[in-house]
Chains A and B, each alone.
Chain A
Amino acid sequence: MSSSKLLKGSLATIVLKLLEENEKMYGYEITQRVKEITAGEFKITEGALYPTLHKLEAEGMLSTETQKVDNRIRKYYSLTKEGNAEAQSKVAELEEFLLNLQKLLNPKLGMG
């Protein structure tokens, strides 16, 4: 399995976590922030990001607002109350998963 496939499975959690830390963000900004935080190691493709954003919006986790920037429309995403709770639960779930995965892949580290 390629790293991009691993990343795709955690994309919703990444988006929720970023929006938890930032009040509102737009699509391009999210891709750049991920690239910046991981020093270019993780690259979110637009083809994966937008369906995730739209799905989270449809599920009521994200709310949107539009603003006019340089004569074009920018769509900002922000967490709803439900999205905020989901972000915390998803991050905790992923952290636990990573911890267990580490125990499996490197038992010595897991015991420490």
Chain B
Amino acid sequence: MKLTVEQHEQVVFYLQHLDIDSQELFEEFYDHIVCSYEARLKKEPELEIKTHIWHHLHIEFGGVTGFKEVIKKHQKGIHWQVTKKFLAIALSYFKWPSVIYTALIFLVLLGIAEISNTPIIIYTFVMISLLTPYAIILLNQVKFKRDIKVQKPGYYRNMRNSAISEIGGFTALSTYYLFYFSTSMREILLFEKYFNQLPIIPTILMAFSTLFSVSLLKLIKEDFKTKLLTT
């Protein structure tokens, strides 16, 4: 059945009252409420959706406390899933036959480290590779928020997007600390000298940032939602 505007608003009000602001739970519970209402209407044709929600469903869901528990567990689960997937993508580059390409990239980076005399090239490379996925995340978040603003579905975020954004935020933060660390180390321990003498150090740094960036970009491509299915 298709709900009337008033019925839809009742469901949205209820879900918002329970602080369900994520797309995943909102859509799932919205469908559950409508399905159970449809079934109960067959027995009680006069039943109002408001009564059904507050007098029946609310108890079955375990009230506000029950819902809070569901939200908490779901959020934890999604974060775990996203982190696990990110690590799985990163590790996949060390499996056959991808490891051949990984080794080739490492050799190219070693060449760059040996040719370049100034650490600034290395820093720029690392920063670009770490900040690119973060920039894409920000752009996608804008697209998603714009879609929400236009369609007004009743929720305001996507948990999976938030979990990916947190990993992206980590890259931005690590870039900042890397820059901070390298500038201080340059003065204290003649870091620049070691940078030039041991090309393996900047190569590992560049390889790590490339791996991080490529894995995150793949995760964004597969899991980041920029558009809504609802109309």
Contacts and interface: CB of A to CB of B under 8 A. Distances in A.
Given A28-B35, A57-B77, A73 B69 contact: no
Contacts of B32: 27-28, 46
Interface stretch (A12-20, A48-56, A96-104): A48-56
B177 interface: no
Interface string A67-104: 01111111100000000000000000000000000000
Contact of B31 (A45, A58, A60, A72): A72
Interface in B14-44: 24, 27-28, 30-32, 34-36, 39
B94 interface: no
Contact of A51 (B69, B80, B84): B69
Interface stretch (B57-65, B123-131, B133-141, B186-194): B57-65
Interface in A18-40: 26-29, 32
Interface residues of A, number: 24
Contacts of A26: 31, 35
Contacts of B73: 51, 54-55
B2 A70 contact: yes
Give the interface size class of chain B: 20 to 34
A58 B35 contact: no
Contact of B70 (A28, A50, A60, A72): A50
Nearest to B72: A51
A42 to B, nearest CB: 14
A47 interface: yes
Given A28-B31, A54-B74, A72-B34, 18 more contacts: A28-B32, A45-B60, A45-B62, A46-B57, A47-B67, A50-B70, A50-B74, A51-B73, A54-B77, A58-B77, A58-B78, A60-B84, A66-B27, A69-B31, A70-B1, A72-B27, A72-B31, A75-B27
Interface of B: 1-2, 24, 27-28, 30-32, 34-36, 39, 57, 60-62, 66-67, 69-70, 73-74, 76-78, 80-81, 84, 229-231
